[in-house]
Structure 1
Amino acid sequence: MTDHTFRFGVVATPQDGDAWRATARRIAELGYSTLLMPDGLQLLAPFPSLAVAASVADIRVATFVLASPLRTPMAAAWDAHSMTVLTGGRFELGIGTGIPAAKQSAERLGMPYGTAAERLAQVGATIDRVRELEQADGPGDLRTPVLVAAGGPKSRTLAAEKADIVTLAAGPLANTDDMAAMAEDLRAKAGDRADAIELAMNIFVIGDDVPPWTKQFMGVDADELIAADALTMLRGTPQEMADELQRRRERIGTSYISVNAQFVEQFAPVVELLRDR
């Protein structure tokens, strides 16, 4: 299904500088490739936070994902390109149209939230501005990989045209058949680019227990996830989890796997089994 080897990331948010630096060092020690950070005014700002992380550990850093209404395309591209240059090419720009809570953040920033079509157009414009900044710098090896969170058909069309990495934004109860259909549609839209696109998957629950914050965010409990055979949950021994991820890669094409920081130690044996395979 894909020639992409496995790599693994951790989605985390900083509370203070010392703990954040320790988190970056620890995930690098455990073999994760990337530290990813969400976006929103309820959190610290992602670009300076990720710059700090990249300065203390030999890891990639990524936004996961920027909400397009919170910045103009040029402002987001400027920060992204600067991160790529300053980290020596270790930055990935993850971007999407934003979750519903982004509307309140946009209002507080004095930014128009826009329609769904306008927010998606901002995603495309941001990617274009990043590429323009790269061209303005002249020939070089530094290029910002762009991850697009794509849910509906229109966002998959944009991702197929412009993204290097795509995370298929399905509902919390989406199963293998659901995700495989989305991936097939993406590849069909991508045409000759299909093999170059890396497919990502964020797993919210490792093991049998759903943390309270995760249950609140997703709106489902463990029994519902298990009954649906949902891909947002991964259970079993480390070897069983590794086998399941290999099956998902074979069927769907997902090779870039991220987990929440709460599961970083629990999931580390799976990383050891599959990293670079």
Structure 2
Amino acid sequence: MHKPFRFGVNLTAPGSRSEWVAKCRRAEELGYDVVAVPDHLGLPAPFPALMLAAEVTERVRLTTFVLNTPFYNPVLLARDVAGLDAFTDGRFELGLGTGYVGAEFEAAGMPFPSAGQRVDHLEETIGTLRKLYADPDYQPRPTQPTGPPLMVAGWGDRVLRLAAEQAEIIAFVGGTVGNGNPMLADAAAVAKKIDYVRTLLSGRDAEFNLLIQQIAAPAERETLALAMAPALPVDTPLEDIPTLLVGAPTEIADTLRERRARYGFSYITVLEPNLEKFAPIIELLSGE
């Protein structure tokens, strides 16, 4: 039995208050289910951006996609998460990742931990959140009794194992990111990761998210192929990269149905430049 589709947009462009309000309202108007904010220096600060998004919308859920978890003290993060969940009436979902851009740590005056240390911190953070929210005396109380639904994003086996153990939503980043430079995975590599996670879930239910990197109409295919070539496996067509969508809206809708059937991806997130471009696909898949 397939999960119903959900659609999110990751809003990445800083701007004025009025521009932010207009974008959030437009996302809701276009039928998106989730407004997301990433966590990178130079982009909108996630918590105030999502609080404002909640104030000017009615239906959409809000999420961090995803927090650079090593930036945060787990106990202080628990307070901010609970506060945002309370002030958005339980519309918040918490997305966590390990962080991967060393230059951001340098800019913040922080040491850049090893990959293993970053996963350790992510695991510690999740454990702290679970423990604090389980305490009936903890304040401030989140609106959602055990805290917001947790999304963990990653690609490495250890992060995906943690996600399978702890997360309600598992976000497959769709490839490796070496010092900020992505290499997108082909269908076979994605299928291997999906099989790995399904084995670890052992029947536990989880929603699978996929972050779409680019969308191209048929006439834009060759331009996209040239632009993405450094990030693709050798001799791999665009259509064999699950994080790319190529075709007319009806073709892309069919592609997403096929990817849901094949991999279980029911929660699809696009980046802000594709906010309008993806809207016709949402209309085609709404309610499925």
| TM-score, structure 2 normalization | 0.85
Tell me, in whole angstroms, the C-alpha distance in 2 between the residues paired with 1:206 and 1:37.
Answer: 19
Letter of the 1:36 counterpart: A
Deviation at 1:135, TM superposition (A): 2.0
Tell me, in whole angstroms, the C-alpha distance in 1 between the residues paired with 2:136 and 2:231.
Answer: 47
Q: Which residue of 1 aligns with 2:92?
A: 91
Deviation at 1:216, TM superposition (A): 7.8
Change (3 A) 1:225 1:54: farther
Q: Secondary structure at the match of 1:144?
A: coil
Change (3 A) 1:79 1:215: farther
Number of residue pairs matched? 271
Decide which structure has greater helix share. 1
Q: Percent identity?
A: 37
- CA RMSD across the alignment: 2.7
Q: Which segments of 5 or more consecutive residues in structure 2 lack a partner in the other structure? A: 176-182
Q: Secondary structure at the match of 1:134?
A: helix
Tell me, in whole angstroms, the C-alpha distance in 1 between the residues paired with 2:215 and 2:170.
Answer: 22
Q: Which residue of 1 aligns with 2:172?
A: 168
- Indicate conservation of the 8 Å contact 1:69/1:98, yes or no: yes
- Indicate conservation of the 8 Å contact 2:62/2:91, yes or no: yes
Deviation at 1:275, TM superposition (A): 2.3
Deviation at 1:215, TM superposition (A): 8.4
Q: Which residue of 2 aligns with 1:18?
A: 18
Structure-to-structure mapping, 1:79-228, within 5 angstroms:
79-99=80-100, 101=101, 103-137=102-136, 141-142=144-145, 143-171=147-175, 172-193=183-204, 196-208=205-217, 209=220, 219-220=230-231, 226-227=237-238
Deviation at 1:224, TM superposition (A): 6.9
* Residue of 240, 251, 262 corresponding to 1:229: 240
Change (3 A) 1:34 1:215: farther
1:227-248 deviation line (CA, Å, top 9, x unaligned) = 5621121111211111110100
Tell me, in whole angstroms, the C-alpha distance in 1 between the residues paired with 2:124 and 2:107.
Answer: 22
Q: Secondary structure at the match of 1:192?
A: coil
Tell me, in whole angstroms, the C-alpha distance in 1 between the residues paired with 2:113 and 2:11.
Answer: 28
Q: Secondary structure at the match of 1:160?
A: helix
1:44-84 deviation line (CA, Å, top 9, x unaligned) = 31111111111101211111111122112222222222211
- Indicate conservation of the 8 Å contact 2:186/2:236, yes or no: no
- Indicate conservation of the 8 Å contact 2:9/2:272, yes or no: yes
